[in-house]
Amino acid sequence: MMNCEQTNSFLEDYLDGYLDEAQRQELEAHLAACQECQTDLDNRNAVLKGLRALPVPRPSPGFEERVLSNARQGNRKHVGFSAGFGSAVAAGLMVWFVVGFWHPSDRPEHNALSVIVMQVEQPREVSLAFNVPHAIRDVTFRIELPEGIEIEGYPEQRELVWMDQLPKGRNVMNLNLVARQGVNGELLARIQHGDKEQVFHVPVRASMNGVGITPSFEQNTISI
């Protein structure tokens, strides 16, 4: 039978499951007869259990989609603006638009068939998908939010503007929206190229109880 010194040297391997069957049985025989070594084992075991139980807070909402999306885009920026933009297909609501060619005088405006229905203080991912028949360079994007709606990470900003390209085909803009109060308004997505502009309207409804929340995925196509 092992003595206390030998047992002590094997206790960790025993706890980690690294002992073979014969060693394990020998050690357990000693433990059964030695209260001191058994107490030692119990203490070590308690520490291990405590370590495994150390808490980890959940990551922020949309973390997985966001880091994957950012990786694809080469972004390193934490949360901030990118927090509002998750992966293309993970969003809760997707609204499709077709971007065409237009004349300045036309200034076409389009109303989405989808309605973004939200519950106050509950984030909702919404994707705006733009189908572009030809690549368009130097496009100015402008998102206008109704009062009470924010993009996560951009508190109290009602308007966001940036420049980008529109490659040919389908392009997805993901927005992580939060309603701060009851809302009955419209989200406007403006796409401007030179002196031409196209405006897309998406109705937004937010209430305290979120009654009438739409299904998790919707798709509408607007042709112009």
Q: What's the CA gap between 156 and 166, in Å, rounded?
A: 28
Nearest residue to 67 (alpha-carbon basis) of 87, 49, 52, 81: 87
Which segments of the chain does DSSP mark as H helices, in order? Answer: 4-16, 21-33, 35-52, 63-73
Is 22 a binding residue for another protein by CB under 8 A? The answer is no
Instruction: Tell the smallest beta-carbon distance from residue 55 to another protein (Å).
Output: 7
Is 51 a binding residue for another protein by CB under 8 A? The answer is yes
Nearest residue to 145 (alpha-carbon basis) of 180, 106, 170, 114: 180
Query: Do residues 127 and 94 make contact, with C-beta atoms less than 8 angstroms apart?
Result: yes
Is 170 a binding residue for another protein by CB under 8 A? The answer is yes
Among 67, 98, 120, 199, binds another protein (CB under 8 A): 67
Instruction: Tell the smallest beta-carbon distance from residue 207 to another protein (Å).
Output: 28
Stretch of 56-64, 182-190, 199-207, 210-218 lying at the interface with another protein (CB under 8 A): 56-64
Q: What's the CA gap between 57 and 214, in Å, rounded?
A: 30
Stretch of 24-32, 43-51, 98-106, 206-214 lying at the interface with another protein (CB under 8 A): 43-51
Among 7, 14, 87, 114, binds another protein (CB under 8 A): 87
Nearest residue to 116 (alpha-carbon basis) of 145, 141, 87, 89: 145
Residue number, 76 or 103, with CB nearest to another protein: 76
Q: Which residues contact another protein (rule: CB under 8 A)?
A: 12, 16, 18, 43-44, 47-48, 50-57, 59-60, 63-64, 66-82, 84-85, 87-88, 129-130, 141, 160-167, 169-174
